[in-house]
Amino acid sequence: GAVVSQHPSWVICKSGTSVKIECRSLDFQATTMFWYRQFPKQSLMLMATSNEGSKATYEQGVEKDKFLINHASLTLSTLTVTSAHPEDSSFYICSALPLTGKREAFFGQGTRLTVV
């Protein structure tokens, strides 16, 4: 089956620093990847749609200057949380939509971000 790998699985950073999270599709190509955020005991919220070779599309209320998305290749999208604050602590999950086959995106294992 299709595998999506996120790195790191967890990260602790100091307030004011930036953190980069990688999302890789290991055995397929994806022009589109999605980034979701999940706060404890809540549902997943779509943050942005990442398109290879073009600018990401952000959902309403998500600051594009704070959550920088780069999708430079067909197998890699990155999310950088800039100037992180404790309220950015969350579980970040990516998914990748294969170029071919069924139109079902596959999820990474998630990244637990804690800002102290």
Chain residues binding other proteins by CB under 8 A are: 32, 34, 36, 42-46, 49, 57, 59, 93, 95, 97, 102-110, 112
Give the shortest CB-8-to-other proteins separation in angstroms.
14
Which distant-in-sequence residues (6+ apart) come within 8 Å of 113 by Cβ?
10, 11, 13, 19, 21, 81, 84, 88, 89, 90, 91, 92
Give the shortest CB-83-to-other proteins separation in angstroms.
25
Give the shortest CB-13-to-other proteins separation in angstroms.
19
**CB nearer to other proteins: pick between 78 and 95:** 95
**CB nearer to other proteins: pick between 28 and 34:** 34
**CB nearer to other proteins: pick between 34 and 67:** 34
Identify the burial level of 62 via C-beta atoms within 10 angstroms of its C-beta, where 0-12 means exposed, 13-18 middle and 19 or more buried. middle
